[in-house]
Amino acid sequence: MNKHNAEIVISAASSKQYPETDMPEIALAGRSNVGKSSFINTLLNRKNLARTSGKPGKTQLLNFYNIDDTIHFVDVPGYGYAKVSKSERAKWGKMIEEYLTTRSNLRAVVSLVDMRHEPSVDDVQMYEFLKYYGIPVILVATKADKIPRGKWNKHESMIKKALQFDSTDDFIIFSSVDKTGYDQAWKAIENHIN
């Protein structure tokens, strides 16, 4: 697979707009600002393919990226914006629930959390939701470069405990600054699509 060969296919609001294909899909979810766009751009060796999650009020859509006709990455709009209205939040919830619970192409969800902090209530809810539906998770702890290596274990334990982490899921320590976890992330994704 040529990981540089990536392009956006469609921004979808509902299932009618999902691409009609058998290609396996990996969805990516996380709080706004967690580093999701940076993660996607790092994996695809691109600067600006995935753009930072929409500001409040902006249309929230599922962005499908075709990676060399082999996988779709499905970028889920970031959650946890304090300023988003109740109705926007409900719309987001419906859209993501429809995708995660009905899409047969879906193989796993990359769930991103900020490695520096306790997972938020939203982070925990997202993980519980995925586990409830039996969806495999690749947990990515972002911004590892901001934590001294000697403290990585402590932070990993803190996150796993808060999420009641399922040991069959992958846990990847990641940095888009120094590319820590790049190979591991790709390995985990490829395990789920083969």
Where does this chain bind ligand GDP (CB under 6 A)?
Answer: 30, 32-38, 52-53, 78, 142-143, 145-146, 175-177
Residue 135 near residue 110, CB atoms below 8 Å: no
Q: Residue 116 CB, nearest distance to ligand GDP (Å)?
A: 10
Q: By three-state DSSP, how is residue 7 classified? A: strand
Our CB check for ligand GDP shows the closer of 39 and 129 to be 39
Nearer to ligand GDP, 108 or 112 (CB): 112
**Four-residue CA torsion sign, 67, 46, 36, 186:** positive
Nearer to ligand GDP, 35 or 119 (CB): 35
Backbone phi and psi for residue 71, each to the nearest 5 degrees, phi listed first: -140, 150
Q: Give the CA count within 13 Å in the CB-facing half-sphere of 75.
A: 28
Least separation, in Å, of the C-beta of 41 and ligand GDP?
7
- Residue 69, φ and ψ in degrees, nearest 5: 55, 25
Closer by beta carbon to ligand GDP, 94 or else 146: 146
Q: How far is the CB of 134 from ligand GDP (least distance, A)?
A: 25
Q: How many CA atoms lie within 13 A of 132 on its CB side?
A: 9
